[in-house]
Structure 1
Amino acid sequence: MDIKVLGTGCPKCKTLEKLTRDAVEELGIEANISKVEDIMEIMQYNVAKTPALIVDGEIVVKGSVPSYDALKKMLS
């Protein structure tokens, strides 16, 4: 699984990254997680509001931080 957390480094972006890493570890998912902070790269995903979460090329979260349980459901 390829996961990208898009965000410029704001508190919500950092929270989403931490929750994502925690959820992947708890679920035992083998995933490559990367943080994308470059605004030009973020814009290539057509995301106007961060944080955003891209899973295998598909936008699953945009402009908010989901609850931990909701995030686990999205990833499983």
Structure 2
Amino acid sequence: MNRKSEGTAMLDVKVLGPGCAKCYALERAARGALEQLLQEQPGLNVRFEHIEDLLAIEQYPVLFTPALVVNGKVVCAGRIPKREDILAWYRQALNAAGGN
């Protein structure tokens, strides 16, 4: 899911995980929260990526997967958070970027 439009804030979301059931569960939760956010802010620039390559995952400071990275910051690792938590992290990242 990549959405871009000029002049709006950017949200870069990465799910880190080698492809286990929990990794895909986190991906579904993160995408669901993102869809909800896009309904509220339809012009939002979004980049969503699921990184399964272990060498690429090692570039992030995580000890456990699945992990969620929002705008370069690891916000959760080793568990599947609630959608409300994910939405809060998305909004916090947008506020920090000056997009809301």
Scaled by the length of structure 2, what TM-score is found? 0.71
Q: Secondary structure at the match of 1:31?
A: strand
Say which of 1, 4, 15 aligns to 2:14.
4
State whether residues 61 and 74 of structure 2, in contact with CA within 8 Å, keep that contact through their aligned partners in structure 1: no
Paired residue for 2:69? Answer: 54
CA contact (8 A) 1:24 1:30 kept: no
Where in structure 2 are there 5+ consecutive unaligned residues?
1-10, 39-43, 92-100
Identical aligned pairs, as a percentage? Answer: 39
Aligned to 1:22: 32
Q: How many matched pairs?
A: 76
> Amino acid of the residue matched to residue 72 of structure 2?
G
Structure 1: 5+ residue runs without aligned partners? none
Deviations 1:30-49 (A, max 9, x none): 31100000011101102120
SS at match of 1:60: strand
The superposition leaves residues 8-61 of structure 1 with CA deviations (integer Å, 9 ceiling, x where unpaired) of: 111111011011111111111531100000011101102120000111111001
RMSD: 1.1
The aligned residue for residue 82 of structure 2 is 67
